[in-house]
Amino acid sequence: MNKEDLRKQLASLSFSEKVKILEKLRDRSLAIAAAGLRRKYRDPQHAQEFCDCLGWEPCACGNQPPYHCTVCCRELAPEQIRAARARGFYRQEGVEE
Ligand SMILES: [Zn+2]
Ligand SMILES: [Zn+2]
């Protein structure tokens, strides 16, 4: 169905039918988002993803890559490394950002 047909079809629908379609689309995107979250937290293949601890702390053991979280030992995301540098960690590299 091209855009023109879709527009015509929508125009021929009553208001309540349009609302129904929009609600269906919204439910579907919510379901997709929920499935994505489930994958992120339950899929063991994702266990080595970047740290997402709420109270993450940069680990100072060795002070060299891969930089990781002292709480969960997963790698820090780039923005966490930036935040850690701002707090005085990992300064020895002299990386300018
Ligand atoms: Zn460590
Ligand atoms: Zn962590």
- Looking up tokens 């499935």 gives 35
Q: How many domains does the chain have?
A: 2
Q: Looking at the structure, do residues 15 and 37 belong to the same domain, yes or no?
A: yes
| 83 CA to centre of ligand 2 in angstroms | 14
Print the domain residue range for 35.
Answer: 3-46
pLDDT for position 97:
47
Q: Any idea which ligand is nearest the CA of 49?
A: 2
Q: Looking at the structure, do residues 59 and 87 belong to the same domain, yes or no?
A: yes
pLDDT for position 41:
55
Q: What are the mean pLDDT values of the chain's consecutive 10-residue runs (97 residues total)? A: 80 85 82 67 61 92 84 92 91 58
φ/ψ bin of 8: left (φ > 0), alpha (ψ from -120 to 50), beta (otherwise): alpha
| 68 CA to centre of ligand 2 in angstroms | 7
Q: Any idea which ligand is nearest the CA of 74?
A: 2
| 44 CA to centre of ligand 2 in angstroms | 16
Positive or negative torsion for Cα 38, 32, 56, 46: positive
Q: Is the pTM of this model over 0.85?
A: no
Q: Looking at the structure, do residues 96 and 52 belong to the same domain, yes or no?
A: yes
Angle of CA points 7, 9, 15, to nearest 5°:
95
